[in-house]
């Protein structure tokens, strides 16, 4: 994309001082030297005007390798700069990565001329969101420091960074509705004629064991069948800080990292659900309450884009209020999933009201994040607020009623927690 000149400014104070000195010299003493000095000042002014014109006419093009990228994925920026005359300039490219954070993409001293000069930069972004390319600044300084010129070029360009996808093997959605055109007598809506994979044995019926594969790998493996039904999942991603939090300054720092972890977890769950043609309704509780529902495999892409742009707040809408407002939409086949950083037992009445209208309520608290399955588990010494622990203890009495609360530890993977919940009958 070709960049257009947005503004140009200059500083000619040393040249003005030199010109005034030449005029005073001419007035006080008209001589060959004073005339030559005045002519030299005139030449410098002409050079300044010509340089300013050449800089304003720079031909600058910028290309981006991709406008959509995942976190920590390399993105290349290609710049081409050409000028009608040869100049030595400093080029500075900037990119805005947050609401108040801008950093230099590159800073180069280059000689530009009729032959285009290429500047290629590669970078990656550790956080999701919209990354806006700011002005490309061209700076020129006279060799003797007599004048300086700044020109800013820009064109509307941005990169949307999406949360990196984390694969899941299983998610414990509760009840399902039969799909039209599929016939199955199996009570869990599985079609034994359609095998989609294998997994380790876990209190499964003996007829599901794949004996040949078990003998080959030395452990019991069972068949996983394709589903003949769809589930309805209502997901709530809470990015705001709860009003009950006391040490707000401390938790404000924790919330920043939690926001990225919660969005990544939500992305993984949404992708897994979308592969089974499940009906999904997602509500993001952030600075604004964003809602979206879909029932197609490509719907999750739009949902992830919405997650990439969502931002939480310290004093935004509260999860309990948003969840209560969505209760009338639930049906007996719905599964409610909540991702949050901090909840207390004050939300229990809302959870009971929610459970009365759906089949299962699952609350996942991620105050300190979770373990990426690529890494081995280590020791953890975290301490949780008493209010959060109290909610977990009270919720244990409600597990048989399918109100499940889990505080995920930093050394646990999401998949481990999901398999643990699957054992709750």
Residue 64 banded pLDDT, cuts 50, 70, 90: very high
Distance (Å, whole) CA 257 – CA 364: 16
Retrieve residue 172's tokens: 């414990």
| Helix/strand/coil for 52 | helix
pLDDT of residue 197: 77
Q: What is the mean pLDDT of residues 62-79?
A: 92
Round the CA-based radius of gyration of the chain to a whole number and report it: 31
| Helix/strand/coil for 98 | strand
Q: What is the mean pLDDT of residues 133-158?
A: 91
pLDDT of residue 377: 81
pLDDT of residue 170: 83
More confident residue, 199 or 264: 264
Under 8 Å between Cβ of 127 and 260: yes
Under 8 Å between Cβ of 239 and 259: yes
More confident residue, 378 or 58: 58
Integer angstrom CA distances of residue 113 from 78, 147, 403:
18, 21, 69
Helices of type H across 59-188: none
Residue 425 banded pLDDT, cuts 50, 70, 90: low
Checking if the pLDDT of 24 tops 50, the result is: yes
Angle of helix 299-309 relative to helix 248-274, nearest 10 degrees, comes to: 170
pLDDT tens-digit readout, 168-195: 888 887 655 554 444 443 344 565 656 7
pLDDT tens-digit readout, 202-248: 777 787 888 888 888 888 888 876 655 567 899 999 999 988 888 88
Under 8 Å between Cβ of 273 and 304: no
| Helix/strand/coil for 46 | helix
pLDDT of residue 387: 85
Retrieve residue 404's tokens: 């499940």
Distance (Å, whole) CA 76 – CA 150: 26
Other beta carbons less than 10 A from residue 103's beta carbon: 11
pLDDT tens-digit readout, 279-310: 888 999 999 999 988 765 667 788 888 999 99
Q: For the chain, how many helices (H) and strands (E)? A: 9, 20
pLDDT tens-digit readout, 84-116: 889 999 999 988 887 677 888 889 999 999 999
Q: Please name which of 373, 377, 387, 386 lies closest in space to residue 415, comparing C-alpha atoms.
A: 373
pLDDT of residue 30: 83
**Is residue 8 classed exposed, middle or buried when 0-12, 13-18 and 19+ CB atoms within 10 A define those classes?**
middle
Checking if the pLDDT of 268 tops 50, the result is: yes
Which domains, and CATH codes, for the chain? 4-162 (2.60.40.150), 183-227 (no CATH), 231-422 (3.40.50.410)
Q: Please name which of 229, 216, 91 lies closest in space to residue 173, comparing C-alpha atoms.
A: 229
Mean pLDDT of the chain: 86
Q: Is the dihedral of CA 20, 23, 29, 35 positive or negative?
A: positive
Look-up: residue for tokens 């694969």?
167
pLDDT of residue 275: 77
Retrieve residue 365's tokens: 């608290």
More confident residue, 245 or 142: 142
Q: What is the mean pLDDT of residues 245-265?
A: 89
Retrieve residue 418's tokens: 């999901």
Distance (Å, whole) CA 236 – CA 220: 36
Look-up: residue for tokens 């180069």?
108
Distance (Å, whole) CA 114 – CA 133: 26
DSSP H or E segment with residue 299: helix 299-309
pLDDT tens-digit readout, 320-367: 999 999 999 998 888 999 999 988 888 889 999 999 999 899 999 999
Under 8 Å between Cβ of 55 and 87: yes
Quote the Cα angle for 172-178-179, to 5°.
105
Checking if the pLDDT of 151 tops 90, the result is: yes
Checking if the pLDDT of 47 tops 90, the result is: yes
Distance (Å, whole) CA 129 – CA 127: 7
């Amino acid at each position: 994309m070709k960049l257009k000149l947005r503004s140009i400014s200059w500083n000619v104070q040393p040249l003005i001082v030199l010109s005034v000195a030449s005029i005073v010299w001419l007035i006080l003493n008209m001589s060959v030297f004073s005339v030559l000095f005045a002519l030299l000042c005139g030449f410098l002014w002409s050079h300044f005007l010509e340089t300013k014109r050449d800089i304003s006419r720079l031909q600058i093009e910028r290309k981006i390798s991709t406008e959509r990228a995942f976190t920590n994925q390399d993105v290349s920026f290609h710049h081409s700069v050409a000028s009608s005359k040869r100049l030595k300039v400093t080029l500075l490219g900037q990119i805005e990565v947050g609401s108040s954070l801008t950093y230099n993409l590159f800073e180069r001293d280059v000689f530009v001329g009729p032959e285009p000069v290429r500047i290629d930069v590669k970078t990656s972004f550790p956080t999701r969101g919209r990354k806006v390319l700011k002005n490309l600044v061209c700076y020129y300084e006279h060799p003797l420091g007599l004048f300086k010129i700044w020109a800013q070029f820009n064109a509307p360009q941005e990169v949307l960074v999406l949360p990196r996808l984390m694969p899941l093997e299983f998610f414990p959605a509760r009840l399902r509705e039969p799909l039209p055109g599929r016939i199955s007598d199996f009570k869990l809506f599985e079609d034994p004629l359609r095998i989609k994979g294998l997994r380790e044995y876990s209190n499964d019926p003996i007829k599901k064991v794949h004996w040949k594969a078990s003998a080959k790998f030395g452990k019991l493996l069972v068949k996983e069948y394709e589903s003949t039904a769809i589930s309805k999942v209502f997901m709530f991603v809470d990015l705001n800080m709860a009003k009950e939090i006391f040490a707000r300054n401390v938790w404000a720092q924790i919330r920043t990292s939690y926001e990225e972890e919660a969005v990544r977890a939500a992305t993984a769950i949404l992708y897994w659900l979308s592969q089974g043609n499940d009906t999904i309704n997602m509500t993001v509780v952030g600075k604004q309450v964003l809602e979206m529902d879909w029932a197609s495999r490509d719907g999750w892409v739009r949902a992830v884009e919405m997650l990439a742009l969502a931002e939480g707040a310290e004093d935004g809408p509260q999860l309990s209020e948003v969840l209560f407002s969505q209760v009338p939409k639930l049906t007996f086949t719905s599964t409610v999933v909540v991702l949050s950083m901090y909840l207390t037992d004050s939300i229990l009445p809302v959870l009971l009201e929610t459970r009365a209208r759906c089949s299962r309520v699952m609350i996942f608290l991620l105050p300190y994040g979770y373990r990426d399955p690529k890494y081995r588990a280590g020791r953890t010494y975290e301490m949780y607020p008493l209010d959060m622990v109290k909610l977990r203890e009270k919720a244990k009495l409600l597990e048989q009623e399918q109100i499940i609360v889990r505080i995920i530890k930093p050394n646990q993977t999401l998949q481990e927690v999901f398999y643990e919940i699957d054992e709750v009958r």
